Amino acid sequence: MGSQGIHNFLPPEIKRFKIKKELLKKYKCKIEERENSKGCVTTVYICQYDDCNKEFTRTWSILDHVRMHEGEKPYQCPFCSRQYTQKGNLDKHMLLHQKPEVEARRSHQCLHCAKWYTEKYNLKTHIRKFHPEEYKQKYGVYKKRQS
């Protein structure tokens, strides 16, 4: 009888905790049980990457977060092979492939290399990444967000 069999005999709250702990074992993550203000015990997942120490109460949240630190992108677009850390970002991206009028919606053009984008944010990100001097002239110095 493997570890799967053992899980079948555990109470649901312990079973959930042990499975989550196994899932998160490969990541730098600390798991704590805490009592909240209402007296309920909550599982808290704490990111241990580079003194990040962000706290999460949902397993999927910490998994998405640590993928960013690890550079993992498990969600891949079947049309253009772009990869994403979160499924929601892939889902949003997939909408671009499903619309026949995608070309008509590309209204934001890079003046430095003539690439087109459907969203202004994507154009701005492109300019910052591929034309940093022009970006600094137009938007000022780029500062990374503090996590």
Distance (Å, rounded) from C-alpha 50 to C-alpha 28? Answer: 10
Per-residue confidence band for 54, with pLDDT thresholds at 50, 70 and 90: very high
pTM tops 0.85, yes or no: no
**Residue 143 has what pLDDT?**
60
Q: Using pLDDT thresholds of 50, 70 and 90, give the confidence band for residue 104.
A: low
What is the rounded CA–CA span in Å between residue 45 and residue 138?
40
Domain boundary assignment for the chain: 1-98, 104-139
Quick count: other Cβ atoms within 10 Å of Cβ 89?
Answer: 15
- Bridge partners of residue 137, in order along the sequence: none
Cβ count near 27 (within 10 Å): 18
Domain 1-98 bears CATH identifier 3.30.160.60: yes
